[in-house]
Structure 1
Amino acid sequence: MKTDDLIRQLAADALPVRRGAIGRRLLAGLLAGGLLSAAAVVIGLGIRPDLDRAMLGPVFWMKWSYTLSLAVAALAVTVQLARPDTVRPRGLWFLAIPVALLALAGAAELVRTPSTEWLAMWLGHSWRTCPWRVLALSAPIFAGLLWSFRRFAPTRLRAAGAAAGLSAGAFAATVYCLHCPEVSAIFVLTWYSLGILLAAGIGSLLGPRLLRW
């Protein structure tokens, strides 16, 4: 049998894929992992006691806007890299938008604050633990995304792993906002982002091993 004939025979029984199927499956894995991460925050870390008041102010929504928009942009890249025909994902520059906006907010924050208070504002009260907590909370979400990838056929495994890790880290940081009382933009830009980047780095290392098909 010729190769072309074999390909046609194999493709004859292939069922059409519904539009948006990849995105829906990734979202299902992400939500399942996100629920576990949220449970870990509620049971292990605890919800910040002033959450109801914090949600009335701009700082809480500044943090959530940053982490959630970064997570959505990363998930869009992950959807593309889950396909076998993706050479270079589109829209990577969207990832820079929330980072740039938060950096501008941090710069404005520094201008309004005396320089003697910059270090305390940057370190906050939890800089030693914040990145590691974000990384730990990203693990269930990353596992959920790995489950989603079981029905995909990615070819750029390292990039797909990094994108999945970035998505998991950003969504984990979103969940962590329910506990974290820090109010500085430069704190979020530094220590939240470090935890997210650690998750992306681990994802890039695990991608070639765990996403192989």
Structure 2
Amino acid sequence: MTTTEELVQGLARDVRPVGRRAVEWRVLIGVGGGAVVSAVLAISVLGLREDLGTAAQGGALWIKVAYTLALALAAFAMTTQLARPGRESLRFAWAAAVPVVLLAALGFVELMRTPPNERMALWLGESWQSCPWLVLSLAVPVFVGLLWAFRQLAPTRLRAAGAAAGLTAGAVAAAVYCLHCPEASALFVLTWYSLGIALATLAGTLVGPRLLRW
């Protein structure tokens, strides 16, 4: 009769060793591939903002980039954790709140310095109606890349993994969207970029249990 130990040894006999960072590399490849597709779509369909060179010399563009990439890094860390089986706690979940709090503080200062009759324009900008939906659309290729990455991984908390993947895709898409979006207000970014990222997170939460099942 075969013992449990012999069975385990037999199953593991032909298993090749996996690198310590194999999960991170696979998720990174999925995110990177999706981000390239999103960037191509943003440039070819939406177009680069006409003053991108000038904007790159100021601070507003880099605040948007820093905010979205900080969210993307925190979400990436959560995604790689949840890609492994049996992970019950998320060590880096708190990190996603840091850029939101910092941008909210900056937006508050910006709002206080703006005359009351100009605050609505500061908040809405010229593209508030389309911004969240464009971010959500650009998140699709990144989410598809993450689905590819998860095919060889073993998530067990499928809804949470879907949410983390959606958050990652939304944040990366928002960073790509900076190439097109001319809005400079921190309050605009905090509201409408974040709404697009939240929509991507919600979509990931809803489809995660179905698409990440293994």
Question: What is the aligned partner in structure 2 of residue 134 from structure 1?
Answer: 135
Match of 1:27, as an amino acid?
L
Question: Which aligned segments of 4 or more residues in structure 1 are displaced greater than 6 angstroms?
Answer: none
- Measure the CA separation in 2 of the matches of 1:28 and 1:126: 32
Corresponding residue SS for 1:17: coil
- 5 Å-filtered alignment, 1:1-213, equals 1-213=2-214
- Measure the CA separation in 1 of the matches of 2:202 and 2:141: 16
Match of 1:98, as an amino acid?
P
* Aligned residues: CA RMSD: 1.0
- Measure the CA separation in 1 of the matches of 2:129 and 2:7: 58
Query: What per-residue deviation string (whole Å, max 9, x for no partner) do you get for residues 37-63 of structure 1?
Result: 001111100000100000000000000
Task: Give TM-score scaled by structure 1 length.
Answer: 0.97
Query: What per-residue deviation string (whole Å, max 9, x for no partner) do you get for residues 106-155 of structure 1?
Result: 01101111111111111110000000000000000000011011110110
Match of 2:75, as an amino acid?
A
Cα deviation for residue 89 of structure 1 reads: 1.6
- Measure the CA separation in 2 of the matches of 1:88 and 1:7: 28
Corresponding residue SS for 2:128: coil
Query: What per-residue deviation string (whole Å, max 9, x for no partner) do you get for residues 148-175 of structure 1?
Result: 1111011001100100010000000000
Corresponding residue SS for 1:155: coil
- Measure the CA separation in 2 of the matches of 1:26 and 1:112: 42
- Measure the CA separation in 1 of the matches of 2:204 and 2:120: 31
- Measure the CA separation in 1 of the matches of 2:14 and 2:70: 40
Cα deviation for residue 9 of structure 1 reads: 2.0
Unmatched 5+ residue regions in structure 2? none
- Measure the CA separation in 2 of the matches of 1:123 and 1:3: 64
- Measure the CA separation in 2 of the matches of 1:75 and 1:66: 14
- Measure the CA separation in 2 of the matches of 1:95 and 1:116: 33
